[in-house]
Amino acid sequence: MHYDSNAEDISDTRLDYYVGECLVIDARGSKPLITVDTLPNLQGVERVLFKTYSNFPRDFWDHTFTAIAPSTIKYLATSGVKLVGIDSPSIDPQNSKTMDAHKAVLGADMRILEGLVLDDVSEGIYELIALPLAIEGGDASPVRAILRQIDHVS
């Protein structure tokens, strides 16, 4: 709702977006924008988290954080991704006035997680559990995001 007043509030969002298998992608070399050409094969992936920091900046505000290109959001959506997450404060650049990546997420009925701490997380497949609080009238919610390693049996 903080970028579209007609969007649903956080208490109405479906929780299945925030629980399930996800792919963590190491995007530390992607500044200023994560682009489609940096993505691996996304077949069957419904949730993608981007790691852009080696160490999350806890003691300062990084004005030059990595964001996600709107074309990348559109590509993720057409690939079947329903949730995108990032360890930076926003999927749009610091000085964006148009919030094009956010609007692409809204247009594709996707969900966003921002400000994740992925310091000790390696690229790979995990189970994500990141339930938002049901805040009536809220445009967002804090979550306690948990990644659990998935042991694949071959």
Which residues are the active-site residues? Answer: 2
Can you tell me the distance from the alpha carbon of 113 to that of 89, in angstroms, rounded to the nearest whole number? 9
Output the six-digit token pair for 18: 């925030």
DSSP-derived 3-state class of residue 57: coil
Q: Who's near 83: CB < 8 A, 6+ residues apart?
A: 17, 18, 22, 46, 47, 48, 110, 111, 112, 113, 128
Q: How many CB atoms lie within 10 A of CB 2?
A: 10
